[in-house]
Structure 1
Amino acid sequence: MIAFRHLPVTSLLASALLLAACSNSPTGRQQVLLFSEQDMSQLGAQSFEEMKTKEKINTDPQVNTYVQCVTRALTASLGRQPEAPSWEVVVFDSDQVNAFALPGGKIGVYTGLLKVAKNQDQLATVIGHEIGHVLAKHSNERLSRSQLANLGLQISSVALGGTEYQEMAMAGLGLGVQYGILMPYGRAQESESDIIGLRMMSQAGFDPNQSVALWQNMSKASGGGQPPEILSTHPSHASRIDDLRREIGRLPVSTATHPNCKAPG
């Protein structure tokens, strides 16, 4: 029997939280989630609104219609999700080869990505991957880990919206202190989002084989220099492509109609 009276208060608190907050991700990976969906959605919405004031928003109708079409096909295949009752998509004018999704159904796509994602299926690969982070509650997981590593911050009374916790909360969402700077998730989370996104795009009628072509394009885009931001801590190109090909072989045959989202000319 454990002699609890000899354990530090912080250890007891951590043990209680772990017992209360253990969960499984969509792929069965064990997670610790300390925060409510409401808290995370509020944090995501607040951060997204601030990003929209700091980043240049693209207003080209063709570009926006295209990105909206791909996103709508993906999210429609999911049905209503408690993590995101509705989805808001904004296209940002930037050379960044990247996209992101925040709790509460907030999606940002940078125009630089459209130069590397050559068709609707490849764009669906990236957007599906980012939605996967939301569905798997990766922001909550990362923020919870940060909180457990800093028990002195009084877990039971953490205020996500307060300035005292702002930097930690933004890091949990994958955003830097200056909103608009995207920070990478861990490799386990990135690989998990690859799988979730692949299943999602296949279910929505997109061609999952194009996910391999997309990451091959990403590899070429990195050249011999700095890789695209989205690749910062992702698995290596070779291992990612091997994992995708293996998962593609396990996918059920989709009966969904192939979407017809027209890329801007």
Structure 2
Amino acid sequence: MSNLKKTYLMIVVALGIFACATNPFTGKKTMALVSNDQLFPTSFAQYNQFLSENKVIEGTSDAKMVTRVGQKIAVAAERWLNANGYVGYLNDYKWEYNLVDDDAINAWCMPGGKIVVYTGILPVTQTETGLAVVMGHEVAHALANHGQQRMSAAYVQQGVALAGNIAIQNEKDRNAFNQYYGVGSQVGVMLPFSRAHETEADKIGLYIMAVAGYNPDEAAELWKRMSAGSEGQAPPELLSTHPSNESRIANLTALAPTAKQEAAKFGVTTFK
């Protein structure tokens, strides 16, 4: 192998080792090849563009509920972070909460705290507490920097693929590498990575909604409704970016008592 190829491979490995951040909820090191200083401005610009291209609902009871729940979730997150030694963690967040007219059963939170809830999910959430389950989960993705981690993992995935193509001279071997690496890295690495993020966001979101005063028992109930609405159309868990509904319901049910204990540390013992 040439010095150039060796150098390239060393760079890929070094980036994966040294470009790290700390997840405040787990204490674990995470990949951070893209800093929030770079990510947040792009996120804010994309959010504004999205709002300009979609129908934002304002002034209705549902729109007010989205804002109310979002504000409570943001306050609870800051309380938890401050109490656990992460004062100032949210300084660069620019919280914003919008309800958008769209039949999709979806909601999301971009890096930096920009949130959208689609009207299509409200019949499933049904109540303010059901909405808190969804928004707590989406905010958790942003708080744990999952977007940053996914981008970083994609860069590493692409870097390894490029390094393999540089290193393998034989065309037949190179084609085989591309075929097996593409499938293997997706099914064996990227999809489990994404499912782990979803499970982590479920846990963080459950804790935050409980600290905000919302009953964490309702999380499993929400996912039972989600499961009933999917009519068994979800792909097998192995090939999905998300855990199965069954896994999610079982996990949330098991975590709810712990979430209540976490909320009790902040004096919250009754729930909406």
Which category of TM-score, normalised to the shorter sequence, fits these structures?
Answer: 0.7 to 0.9
Gaps of 5+ in 2: 79-87, 163-192
Instruction: Assess if the C-alpha contact under 8 Å between 2:16 and 2:156 holds in 1.
Output: no
- For 2:40, the equivalent position in structure 1 comes to 41
Q: Residue in 2 aligned with 1:234?
A: 242
Instruction: Name the counterpart of 1:19.
Output: 17
Give the superposition deviation at 1:91. Answer: 0.9
Query: 1:47 is matched by which residue type in structure 2?
Result: Q
- The 8 Å contact of residues 96 and 113 in structure 1, kept in 2 or not, is answered as yes
Match of 1:133 in 2: 141
* Deviation of the 1:194 alpha carbon: 0.3
Partner of 2:195: 187
Question: Is 1:55 matched with 2:54?
Answer: yes
Tell me which structure has the larger Cα radius of gyration.
Answer: 2
Q: Aligned to 1:86, what secondary structure does the other structure show?
A: coil
For the 8 Å contact 2:107–2:134, the answer to whether it is kept is yes
Q: What amino acid is aligned across from residue 115 of structure 1 in structure 2? A: P
1:1-265 matches, cutoff 5 A: 8-25=6-23, 26-79=25-78, 81-82=89-90, 84-151=92-159, 186-225=194-233, 233-251=241-259, 252=261, 253-254=263-264, 255-256=267-268
Larger helix proportion of the pair: 2
User: 2:177 aligns to what?
Assistant: none
Q: Deviations over 1:142-193 (max 9, x none)?
A: 1111112233999xxxxxxxxxxxxxxxxxxxxxxxxxxxxxx811111110
Q: Secondary structure at the match of 2:208?
A: helix
Q: TM-score, normalised by structure 1?
A: 0.76
Deviation at 1:101, TM superposition (A): 0.3
Instruction: Report how far residue 214 of structure 1 moved.
Output: 0.5
CA gap 1:192/1:205 in 2 versus in 1, 3 angstroms: same
> 1:173 maps to which residue?
none
Amino acid in the other structure paired with 1:256: V
**One-letter amino acid of the counterpart of residue 211, structure 1:** A
Question: After alignment, is 21-30 or 34-43 more displaced?
Answer: 21-30
Q: Which amino acid aligns with 2:8?
A: T
Q: Within 1, Cα distance between the matches of 2:227 and 2:196?
A: 20
Structure 1 pair 114–193 and aligned structure 2 pair: CA distance change class (3 A): same
Cα pair 1:84 1:103 within 8 Å, conserved:
no
Percent of aligned pairs with the same amino acid: 31
* Total equivalences in the alignment: 223
**SS of structure 2 residue aligned to 1:96:** coil
Q: Contact conserved, 1:117 with 1:123, CA < 8 A, in 2?
A: yes
Counterpart in 2 of 1:166?
A: none
2 CA distance for matches of 1:198 and 1:19? 31
Measure, in 2, the Cα distance between the counterparts of 1:223 and 1:12: 48
Scaled by the length of structure 2, what TM-score is found? 0.74
Note if contact 1:83-1:105 (Cα within 8 Å) is conserved in structure 2: no
Aligned residue for 1:186, secondary structure, equals helix
| Structural RMSD (CA) | 2.7
